[in-house]
Amino acid sequence: MTIRFTKHQIAVMQTALDRWGVNAQAGQTVEECAELIVALTKHINRTPKPESLENVIDEMADVEMMLAQMRLVSGISDERLHEQIARKFEKLERHLKNEKETNAL
Ligand SMILES: [Mg+2]
């Protein structure tokens, strides 16, 4: 499920960063996250339709591309991100286990 970008796509993202600057791209990242929030909210809160799912996918793609650019400028390695994700999974698993034990009482 990991999003992988080609060398060409990474070069295009670097060109965008060079052309528009980090601040503009960081602002665009925030904007794309907000658009994903709206798309998900509409898809969940209304009767799900194929077009609303397409909109979610479209905004997810925007967010993935912007997050990749933020990782490029911050020099966050795959390894560092995977370490953090592993910690988050440990926390999630603890939470799921505790919830299961609480419900069993
Ligand atoms: Mg968008």
* Spacing, Cα 57 to ligand 1 middle (Å): 10
Q: What is the pLDDT of residues 83-99, one digit of tens each?
A: 999 999 999 999 999 98
Span between the terminal Cα atoms of the chain, in Å? 36
Where the chain has pLDDT below 70, the residues are 105
Category of 59 on φ-ψ map: left (φ > 0), alpha (ψ -120 to 50) or beta? alpha
Instruction: Give the Cα separation of 32 and 85 in Å (integer).
Output: 22
Instruction: Give the Cα separation of 52 and 21 in Å (integer).
Output: 32
pTM of the model: 0.87
* Spacing, Cα 88 to ligand 1 middle (Å): 27
Reduced to 3 states (helix: H, G, I; strand: E, B; else coil), residue 40 is: helix
* Spacing, Cα 52 to ligand 1 middle (Å): 13
* Spacing, Cα 38 to ligand 1 middle (Å): 10
* Spacing, Cα 35 to ligand 1 middle (Å): 6
* Domain residue extents for the chain: 1-74, 77-105
- Rounded to the nearest 5 degrees, what angle is found at the Cα of 15, between the Cα atoms of 2 and 70? 45
Q: What is the pLDDT of residues 52-64, one digit of tens each?
A: 999 999 999 999 9
